[in-house]
Amino acid sequence: MIIDQQKIDEAVSTIVGYGGQNILNCIQCGACSSVCPGIKAGFPLLCRNLIRHLLNGELEEIIEDSSSWGCQACNRCTEICPRDVRPQEVVFAFRRYQANELAFSTSSVTSQMNLYETGHAVFTDPSALRKQVGLPETTPTSAYDDKAKEEIQTLINNGPMGELGLF
Amino acid sequence: MEKIGLYLGCNIPMKAPDIEQSIRQIMPPLGIEPVDLQGASCCPAWGTAPSFDLNNWCAISSRNITIAEEQEVDIMTGCNSCFGVLSEAKHFLNDPERRKAVNTSLAAINREFKGTSDIYHVAHVLHKKVGLEKIRENLKYSLAGLKIAVQTGCHTLWPSDVYKVKEENPFYPSILRDLCEATGATVPHYSRLESCCGMGGMRSTDMEKSLVLFKDKLMSIKEETDADLVVTTCSSCFLQFDMSQPILKERGLIDFEPIPPLYYTQLLALAMGCDPSQVAAISQIDRSGIIREIQSEKRLIKEVA
């Protein structure tokens, strides 16, 4: 492949901007990948390999890969990294780049809508189950609290998710 | 009695309110009074705001934390993901620049993050604040002779530098083992003790990959411990053990009956004599056998005169 310094700079600054601040510390030792459940399950672009692609200046080339969405956010990688890369932050920074380019699976739209409308990413009417176990049918959470819902919507509207026009 | 804010999250109050009920019932006799965090929202889950913007994540998390700060209580949650998300957000807010930016967002809803409330998992409250001795004193039934495989889950373990309570070795966790042993049960080690169950973002992105990981873990439990039940302190792991064993069974990928799963506070509530129809009532896998066994008359602990 052709190494293009401009592309490398662009990829690094994009990742740093989205929260992967320590990406340049990486020495490609692979400790992160050795403990990553996502890699074990067969997602190709996580931890060391994702960082390698990014440090080669690839960004658009891998935007459609869904591996980052298979990251469990478990942070085993962060714990074990000898160079304080905090690889999960790099994976999430890449995921944020994808999300802000609207390159994410439609299946995750439901949880965004739920969060916006009820304050809960997972929302199902809980009344029957709660009644069954002797709890009040509604939860003391944002789902049944209009002021709380307004607050959540204000925070989302004022952030990049609001600007993307998802809601 | 120490008051602590009960942060519910999503899965526990919506899908598994019997876990919520078990937490609410066991805490007061153990000296902890859970108080509601009125209007708390999703933590927010990894697949939502954290996947779009770091500061927006911190704003939604810190809004939840301010509800506890107003009541001058710490936060206790039963959901590992919530524990991880809130703890990490609080860690990010140690950065003065970020805290300033997030407080600017919060000002629009008349809130300010101060950082005065700590984040605990239910397991931490039981292990560190209540203590094993007090748990033993409150048992009605002894679980001696029962074999438990423990599943701690990822988000109380790593990254250890953001958590208020840490395991001595997060790759060899022992808090849940101690808590289970306090009931009298045996907790054998198995080689995939700290491995991921495959729930979470992985399951919603690719269920087949998730099931491969889950089966690997399940086989290690079955072959190495032959446990009577799986006990977890992660509500997501609980759902994976409850939903995915029947799938593997139906596909003929396992040749044994699903191992009944319980969330730890359900196990403790049963051992303390709580009503199973309130504290352990919702599951796909039939748990009636193990619940009857736990609350059988032969296990009653004689009161010392």
- A142 vs B63: CB contact, 8 Å cut-off? no
Q: Which of B204, B148, B209 is nearest to B179 (CA)?
A: B148
Computed over every residue of chain A, the mean pLDDT equals 95
Cross-strand partners of B3: B33
Which tens digit of pLDDT belongs to each residue from B40-75?
A: 999 999 999 999 999 999 999 999 999 999 999 999
Judged against a pLDDT cut of 60, whether residue B284 lies above it is answered with yes
Which tens digit of pLDDT belongs to each residue from B102-113?
A: 999 999 999 999
How would you list the strands of the sheet with B261-263, edge to edge? Answer: B148-151, B229-232, B261-263
Among residues 54-93 of chain B, which lie with CB inside 8 Å of chain A? 54-56, 59-60, 63, 81, 84
**Per-residue pLDDT at B188:** 98
Kindly list the residues from chain A whose CB atom is less than 8 angstroms away from the CB atom of residue B41. Answer: 115, 119-120, 141-142, 148, 152
- A70 vs B109: CB contact, 8 Å cut-off? no
With cut-offs at 50, 70 and 90, classify the pLDDT of residue B275. very high
Average pLDDT estimate for B189-206: 95
Kindly list the residues from chain B whose CB atom is less than 8 angstroms away from the CB atom of residue A72. Answer: 154, 196, 200-202
With cut-offs at 50, 70 and 90, classify the pLDDT of residue A142. very high
With cut-offs at 50, 70 and 90, classify the pLDDT of residue B305. very low
**Per-residue pLDDT at A106:** 74
**Per-residue pLDDT at A2:** 81
With cut-offs at 50, 70 and 90, classify the pLDDT of residue A44. very high
With contact defined as beta carbons under 8 Å apart, do B6 and B73 qualify?
Answer: no
Which tens digit of pLDDT belongs to each residue from B134-148?
A: 999 999 999 999 999
Pick B53's closest partner by Cβ from A40, A69, A161. A161
Average pLDDT estimate for A105-113: 82
Pick A112's closest partner by Cβ from B18, B48, B155. B48
Element containing residue B229 per DSSP (H, E): strand B229-232
> Residue holding tokens 């129809």?
B277
Average pLDDT estimate for A86-90: 98
B44 touches chain A (CB under 8 A): yes
With contact defined as beta carbons under 8 Å apart, do B77 and B64 qualify?
Answer: no
Best of B42, B58, B244 to mutate (most A CBs within 10 Å, chain A): B42
With contact defined as beta carbons under 8 Å apart, do B34 and B4 qualify?
Answer: yes
Pick B213's closest partner by Cβ from A41, A121, A164. A41
The 3-state secondary structure of chain A, one letter per residue: CCCCHHHHHHHHHHHHHCCCCCHHHCCCCCHHHHHCHHHHHCCCCCHHHHHHHHHCCCCHHHCCCCHHHHCCCCCHHHHHCCCCCCHHHHHHHHHHHHHHCCCCCHHHHHHHHHHHHHCCCCCCCCHHHHHHCCCCCCCCEHHHCHHHHHHHHHHHHCCHHHHCCCC
With contact defined as beta carbons under 8 Å apart, do A65 and A18 qualify?
Answer: no
Kindly list the residues from chain A whose CB atom is less than 8 angstroms away from the CB atom of residue B71. Answer: none
Greater confidence (B39 vs A161) lies with: B39
Distance CA(A33)–CA(A40), nearest Å, equals 8
Q: Where are the domains of chain B?
A: 2-121, 132-299
Binning chain A into helix, strand and coil, the percentages to the nearest 5 are 60, 0, 40
Which tens digit of pLDDT belongs to each residue from B70-93?
A: 999 999 999 999 999 999 999 999
Peptide bond into B44 cis (omega under 30): yes
Domains and CATH numbers, chain A: 5-100 (1.10.1060.10), 106-159 (no CATH)
Kindly list the residues from chain B whose CB atom is less than 8 angstroms away from the CB atom of residue A64. Answer: none
Average pLDDT estimate for B289-301: 97
Structure tokens at B89: 């957000």
> Residue holding tokens 């409850």?
B242
Element containing residue A33 per DSSP (H, E): helix A31-35
Domain B132-299: which CATH number of 3.40.1350.10, 3.40.50.11810, 3.40.367.20, 3.50.50.60: 3.40.50.11810
Average pLDDT estimate for B16-20: 98
**Per-residue pLDDT at A63:** 97
Cα dihedral value A32, A35, A41, A44, nearest 10: 10
With contact defined as beta carbons under 8 Å apart, do B198 and B234 qualify?
Answer: no
With cut-offs at 50, 70 and 90, classify the pLDDT of residue A162. confident
**Per-residue pLDDT at B303:** 67
- A75 vs B204: CB contact, 8 Å cut-off? no
Distance from CA of B299 to the nearest CA of A (A): 25
Amino acid identity for residue B244 in this structure: S
> Residue holding tokens 């896998």?
B285
Structure tokens at B90: 């609080």
Q: Which of A27, A111, A114 is nearest to A69 (CA)?
A: A111
Average pLDDT estimate for B211-226: 98
Average pLDDT estimate for B225-245: 98
> Residue holding tokens 């705001």?
B49
ipTM confidence score: 0.96
- A139 vs B55: CB contact, 8 Å cut-off? no
Longest dimension (CA), chain B: 61
Of A107-111, B70-74, B154-158, B211-215, minimum mean pLDDT range: A107-111
Element containing residue B279 per DSSP (H, E): helix B276-279
- Is beta strand B32-36 parallel, antiparallel or unpaired with respect to B2-7? parallel
Q: Which of B42, B103, B91 is nearest to A152 (CA)?
A: B42
- Total count of residues recorded for chain B: 305
Distance CA(A16)–CA(A145), nearest Å, equals 37
**CATH class in words for B2-121:** mainly alpha
